[in-house]
């Protein structure tokens, strides 16, 4: 029997694995995609809000030539850390169920890429899954057509096209600026009175300049209410609607964590049924021996937990596991 099974090989899951290994615990990490898939899912040329130092895990220095590192640097860094600690990661194997046994241990059932089923047993489980598989759906006509995506990778495919971006966060602003560089005709539609206050401070002036120069059309207090093959219908601040010629729609409206493993294990949820109940000093849920780490511990707002905060969850968990063992042996 393993000591700990960790579900999710993102930065916070890797950090938890390292902290447990450091304390002599036998761990296994299950990851349904690739290593640090959440970072792999970021736009190709994305620059982090955080400094390299705040993204470090396992006391391994993150060397970057930039004040704020880029996606490709982070991917290389986390590969390096995983290799350095020889973290046992089973990639492309999805945990499908977590079941607590009468003796207090857990059985984790999984499915491999080819459909093969597997089962593992451990004394403790840490759920550290991300949120990129579940975009916030708008629920408007036309959203399911192939001209619409909730993910932005890079600008090249949109060269010279008419693109409507729905959203007002960092992802929307970054995408708009990249699209301008490939001569796309860009319109940003956002329901708020102003863009998010969390826009990267070095990016906001660039975006505002693009708007002032007419390179980006910004429609605030507005929303897209229908997506048609060659246009979108936009409702403005006063409730009137207008049509906008359109080739592609980027619905960059954020993501939400997947709760199914928590539900399967019997974890209680807070009032809105979106945030798991856990002890903030140990990260242990109401199910003894079952912990949460990283963004899965957040509520509806996935920005509630960042790498720089979630990376510390593993240490809290590992220390609690060791402490509980010490207490039980007295």
Going by C-alpha positions, the residue among 205, 206, 176 that lies closest to residue 190 is 176
What is residue 285's DSSP assignment?
B
Q: What do you get for the CA distance between the two ends of the chain, in Å?
A: 22
Q: How many residues does the chain have?
A: 330
Give me the pLDDT at residue 60, please: 97
What is residue 269's DSSP assignment?
B
Cα–Cα distances (Å) from 208 to 170, 173, 223, 247, 316, in that order, read: 13, 10, 20, 24, 42
Quick check: 4 and 74 in contact, CB under 8 A?
no
Which residues are within 8 A (CB) of 168 and not within 5 positions of it... i.e. 6 or more apart? Answer: 188, 190, 191, 192, 194, 195, 196, 220
What Rg do the C-alpha atoms of the chain give, in angstroms? 22
Which residues are within 8 A (CB) of 112 and not within 5 positions of it... i.e. 6 or more apart? Answer: 92, 93, 118
Cα gap 171→175, rounded to integer Å: 6
- Tokens at 69, concatenated: 């590192």
Kindly state the helix (H) or strand (E) to which residue 28 belongs, with its residue range.
strand 27-31
Which residues are within 8 A (CB) of 56 and not within 5 positions of it... i.e. 6 or more apart? Answer: 62, 311
pLDDT under 50: residue ranges of the chain = 330
> Is the backbone of residue 131 left (phi > 0), alpha (psi -120 to 50) or beta?
alpha
- Tokens at 197, concatenated: 């206050």
Give me the pLDDT at residue 299, please: 66
Quick check: 307 and 54 in contact, CB under 8 A?
yes
Give me the pLDDT at residue 329, please: 55
Other Cβ atoms closer than 10 A to 295: 27
Give me the pLDDT at residue 139, please: 94
Cα gap 210→58, rounded to integer Å: 40
Give me the pLDDT at residue 325, please: 72
Give me the pLDDT at residue 268, please: 92
Give me the pLDDT at residue 6, please: 98
Quick check: 269 and 275 in contact, CB under 8 A?
yes
Each residue of 14-24: b (16+ CB within 10 Å) or e? bbbbbbbbeee
């Amino acid at each position: 029997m393993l000591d700990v099974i960790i579900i999710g090989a993102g930065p916070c899951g890797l950090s938890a694995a390292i902290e447990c290994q450091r304390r002599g615990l036998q761990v296994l990490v299950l990851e349904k995609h690739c290593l640090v898939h959440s970072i792999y899912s970021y736009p190709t040329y994305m620059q982090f809000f955080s400094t390299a130092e705040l993204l470090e895990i396992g006391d391994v220095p993150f060397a970057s030539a930039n004040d704020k590192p880029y996606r490709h640097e982070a991917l290389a860094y986390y590969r390096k850390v995983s290799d350095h600690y020889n973290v046992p990661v089973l990639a492309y194997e999805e945990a499908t169920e977590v079941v607590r046994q009468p003796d207090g241990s857990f059985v984790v059932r999984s499915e491999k890429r080819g459909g093969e089923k597997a089962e593992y047993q451990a004394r403790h489980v840490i759920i550290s899954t991300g949120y990129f598989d579940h975009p916030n759906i708008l629920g408007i006509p036309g959203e399911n057509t192939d001209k619409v995506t909730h993910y932005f990778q890079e600008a090249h495919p949109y060269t010279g096209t008419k693109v409507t971006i729905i959203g007002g966060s960092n992802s929307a602003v970054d995408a708009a600026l990249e699209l301008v560089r490939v001569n796309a005709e860009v319109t940003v539609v956002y329901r708020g009175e102003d863009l998010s206050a969390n826009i990267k401070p070095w990016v906001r002036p660039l975006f505002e300049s693009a708007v002032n120069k007419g390179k980006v059309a910004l429609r605030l207090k507005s929303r897209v209410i229908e997506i048609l093959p060659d246009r979108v219908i936009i409702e403005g601040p006063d409730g009137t609607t207008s049509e906008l010629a359109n080739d592609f729609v980027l619905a960059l409206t954020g993501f939400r964590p997947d709760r199914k493993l928590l539900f399967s294990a019997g974890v209680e949820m807070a009032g809105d049924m979106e945030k798991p109940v856990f002890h903030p000093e140990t990260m242990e849920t109401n199910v003894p021996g079952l912990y949460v780490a990283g963004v899965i511990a957040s509520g509806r707002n996935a920005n509630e937990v960042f790498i720089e905060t979630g990376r510390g969850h593993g240490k809290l968990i590992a220390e609690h596991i060791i402490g509980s063992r010490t207490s039980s042996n007295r």
